[in-house]
Amino acid sequence: MVLLKTGITEVQSKTPAQRVFAVGLGLNQLEDKLNEIATVTNGTAQITGDLVGDKEFYLQKLFVQILSDVANDAFITDPRHILAPNEAYSTDIHISEVDIAADYIMVFRTSNVYPKYIEFWLEAPNGDKITLKDISDGLYPNIKFSSHSRNYYFRLLFPAFPAKPLAHIGVWKFWVENQLKDEKASPFFYTVMAKARSDLILKGRLIQSEYIPDSEMKVILEPTLYGQPIKVDEPVEVFFRRPDGVFRKIILYLNEYGSYEGIYYDTSLYGSYQAMTEITVSSPKGLRIKRYRMFTGIILSSRTKYRPGIECCKVLVRKLDKLIQETKKDRKGFLKT
């Protein structure tokens, strides 16, 4: 069970052991010990930074990443788009024979005209157009649709076409059309994310032993197919966004354990560092598959000392559990998901 309060995700750790996922909202900074708790429980600690400009959907991406990690799913893609009036654009989603099910999620910015003038549909790998009417009419029983105020999503169970068991394999297109006629009107801002239950998983983590300026951030990626390490297309690149918005790139290299690792050194600024990577690999049948992952690191004041220690974390976990027990009688302010 996951409980959210004031931007911090608390996972009740009973039996069996649960994972802690901590999210710092806006410009808040995660305390180093909370980050340590998340690390010790094999969870993650993330911080959004300032959610303005092209980072407006970053929080949604963080939670899709967390949900993917909890369910051991794969995060496929997350491009952001700006769609002008009278334009249409499609996002490619690569599905292979190792994928079992998938969610295609569109998150968008609302306005007085959007999403009213937005039309969207799926295009299957064979070119068939799948509309909301087709789904509501029951033509595709393995495809479901759900809508909310700021997001829509399709949920697909493969094979999507039972009469054609392999027809779902290939490139799906998530089409979005802006039907507004006023060319002077503001554009439609949205992002399409996709996650899949799959036998191809891209796990990974960002490791920090210190949180002071000029300390290193180590990135490890662990791509596996059927539980075994798999080689991916090189170079394996990770793009870091510094707190001032400047982008840097590092290359990860294959180690003796079948993982890819690299170290980022440009950490002189205080604040959150966002890291993103997308890898490409061939499926057993030779299809090209993409997997996406993101991380965040944080640099605190040089006066903030980080003192690692599992015993310290165990004490903090017990205190966190005690706090959860004390609040059981009054859950007001919590959002259960």
Residues 6+ apart with CB under 8 A from 204: 219, 220, 221, 222, 277, 293, 295
Q: Which residues pair with 145 in a beta bridge?
A: 154
Burial environment of residue 190 by CB neighbours within 10 A (0 to 12, 13 to 18, 19 or more): buried
Which DSSP helix (H) or strand (E) runs through 178?
strand 170-178
In CATH, the architecture of 200-306 is Sandwich (2.60)
Query: Mind listing the pLDDT tens digit of every residue in the chain (337 residues)?
Result: 333 333 334 444 444 555 555 665 554 555 555 555 555 445 555 555 554 555 566 666 666 666 666 666 677 766 678 899 999 999 999 999 999 999 998 888 888 999 999 999 999 999 999 999 999 999 999 999 999 888 899 999 999 999 999 999 999 999 999 999 988 889 998 888 888 999 999 998 899 888 889 999 999 999 999 999 999 999 999 999 898 889 999 999 999 999 999 999 999 998 878 888 999 999 999 998 899 888 888 887 655 444 444 444 444 455 556 555 655 544 444 333 3
First-to-final CA distance of the chain: 7
- 3-state secondary structure at position 64: helix
Measured over the CA atoms of residue 156, residue 48, residue 293 and residue 34, the dihedral's sign is negative
pLDDT of residue 299: 84
Token code pair at residue 52 = 């303005």
Q: Please tell me the pTM assigned to this model.
A: 0.71
pLDDT of residue 149: 85
Token code pair at residue 196 = 């899949």
Domain ranges of the chain: 1-47+309-337, 75-198, 200-306
pLDDT of residue 240: 95
pLDDT of residue 43: 54
In CATH, the architecture of 75-198 is Sandwich (2.60)
pLDDT of residue 183: 84
Alpha carbon separation from 145 to 61, 102, 105, 128, 249 (Å, rounded): 20, 12, 10, 17, 38
pLDDT of residue 150: 85
**How many angstroms separate the CA atoms of 167 and 44, rounded?**
37
pLDDT of residue 184: 86
What is the amino acid identity at position 23?
A: V
pLDDT of residue 264: 97
Alpha carbon separation from 124 to 4, 128, 133, 166, 175 (Å, rounded): 37, 5, 16, 11, 11
pLDDT of residue 8: 37
